[in-house]
Amino acid sequence: MDRIVELSLAHDHHSHVSLYAAMDGVPDISSLDAAQATALLAALPGDSLSLVKGWRSDRLDLGPAVLEKLPPVLIVNSSLHGFALSPSARPFAERLWPELAGHGDDRQWGELHLPDLFVFYTRLAGLDSEKLARFMAGMAALGIHSLEDMTISGAEALRAFAEAGLGDRVRSWATPKVFASLSRNDRARCEGVKIFLDGSLGARSAALDEGFLDGSQAALLYGDEELLALLAALAAERTGLSVHAIGHRAIEQILGALRTLRREGLEFETVRLEHVQFISQEQGRAARDLGLVLSMQPNFSMDSELYADRLRERHRVENNPFRMLIDRLGFRPGLDLVFGSDGMPHGIPEALRWSLFPPHEGQVLGLDEFVAGSKAPNDSTQPVVSLRYRIDSRSRSVEALES
């Protein structure tokens, strides 16, 4: 049965505004089959380094034999975790970032340097106020008024936001290295510092409690003592903390580290755990008791289907356990449970579709819960604008209607 709902413009609590805006216009192979993607890559210029986005390893094998035939190209995985560098691209990478040239086929290096890669992609593609304005117009058409940029590239990104008049529509987070490079005034413009503890499902680098179906097992990006030292240094900045932790082991590591810091009298203004797709009931209770905010992506419930080729059946069921968090542990959408997209994809239609019609019952979110978790931290900046959507329970779809 169809129903029509009218929703106010929302806030995306997890995106990468500067990165996505900069990569506007970059060749995208996400919707292409293997033959089409290979043809596009082969036709790129041979005298400059090209940046391409949207690589999915389940659709396109970019092994050495394939890369050897390609022009200079850096190909970014659709999950943003993982990349492929053609041999002919290495001389260009050597000039721009020598360390990249020597680690083009090293997955662990890529995960450890993911924040640096985000900065590199942004600067290689180029960011300006025109791209940002175009990106934000696209977001408004998808029902999103404001977003959080989880990995700004540096002071130049903050300047571009100001030049584009986006000061009240983009909340910025910076990696430890970028945060340290900012002036005191620019640090004050950031919500806090963002760190990564594991990778992604797309790149088989999320730190699950059991290996992927192909037998691979991802490593944590920090040792326990190394993480404690980093967090202690960051706590001295008296700012917020955002922690990327998808898998069980990454979630357990940050909970243990935060308990240790608290015993030592070290605190952050706020702490958000990003993604936590495989958080257990025990871990959820610990996060609640520590007063943490869970920042999750309803659209990532699709991973239970999208990554059936690599996830064990129980992991597919455990992914995004919203009902457990809300019904058993008392997490409250909009307060200590907030929703974003990670840009995969952006917008109300897909996020609402996977909220209402996910693959597993434990992933379901009600309309009111989705709306509450998608509000801006300060609603005073939100315009009084709403869009209409058709929800069709028979086809399990959500469609934006003409205003």
pLDDT of residue 308: 96
> How far is Cα 97 from Cα 8, in angstroms, rounded to an integer?
44
Name the residue among 37, 18, 20 with its Cα closest to residue 28: 37
Cβ burial, residue 316 (10 Å; 0-12/13-18/19+): middle
Taking every pair of C-alpha atoms in the chain, what is the biggest distance, in angstroms? 59
Evaluated on CA atoms 262, 266, 267, 268, the torsion sign reads negative
**What values do phi and psi take at 74, rounded to 5?**
-115, 115
Answer whether 238's CB lies under 8 Å from 271's CB: no
Strand order in the sheet with 50-55: 50-55, 73-77, 83-85
Model pTM greater than 0.85?
A: yes
Tally of CB atoms within 10 A around 361: 8
Residue of 103, 108, 61, 100 lying closest to 81 (CA atoms): 108
Q: Tell me the mean pLDDT per 10 residues along the chain, length 403.
A: 91 97 95 95 96 92 93 94 94 94 84 91 93 95 96 94 90 96 96 96 94 94 97 95 98 98 95 98 98 98 96 98 98 98 96 98 98 84 79 95 80
Residue of 102, 97, 48 whose CA lies nearest to 72:
48
Tell me the CA distances in angstroms from 215 to 90, 210, 278, one per residue in order. Answer: 31, 9, 18
pLDDT of residue 380: 53
Residue 127 — φ and ψ, nearest 5°? -120, 135
Helix (H) or strand (E) holding 250: helix 248-263
Nearest alpha-carbon partner for 241 in 273, 264, 263:
273
Provide the phi-psi class of 7: left if phi over 0, else alpha when psi is between -120 and 50, else beta. Answer: beta
Distance (Å, rounded) from C-alpha 355 to C-alpha 381? 25
Of 172, 332, 245, which Cα lies nearest the Cα of 257? 245
Q: Please give the pLDDT value at position 104.
A: 78
Give the domain ranges of the chain.
11-15+126-382, 23-106
Answer yes or no: are the C-beta atoms of 190 and 179 closer than 8 Å: yes
* β-strand partners of 193: 174, 241
Which pLDDT does position 403 carry in this prediction? Answer: 65
Q: Which of 194, 132, 180, 192 is nearest to 159 (CA)?
A: 132
Distance CA 356, CA 140 (A): 22
Report the interhelical angle of 224-235 vs 248-263 (nearest 10°): 50
* Structural domain 11-15+126-382, CATH architecture: Alpha-Beta Barrel (3.20)
**Cα–Cα distance measured from residue 186 to residue 274, given in angstroms and rounded to the nearest whole number:** 23
Q: Provide the total of helices (H) and of strands (E) in the chain, helices listed first.
A: 19, 14
Quick one: pLDDT at residue 384? 65
Map residue 97 onto helix, strand or coil: coil
Distance CA 225, CA 228 (A): 5
Give pLDDT, residue 381: 56
Residue 337 per-residue DSSP state: E
Please tell me what DSSP assigns to residue 390: E
- Give DSSP secondary structure letters for 264-285: TT---S-EEEEE-TT--HHHHH
Long-range contacts of 335-338 (CB under 8 A, 24+ apart): 335/293, 336/288, 336/291, 336/292, 336/293, 336/294, 337/293, 337/294, 337/296, 337/373, 338/13, 338/272, 338/293, 338/294, 338/295, 338/296, 338/373, 338/374
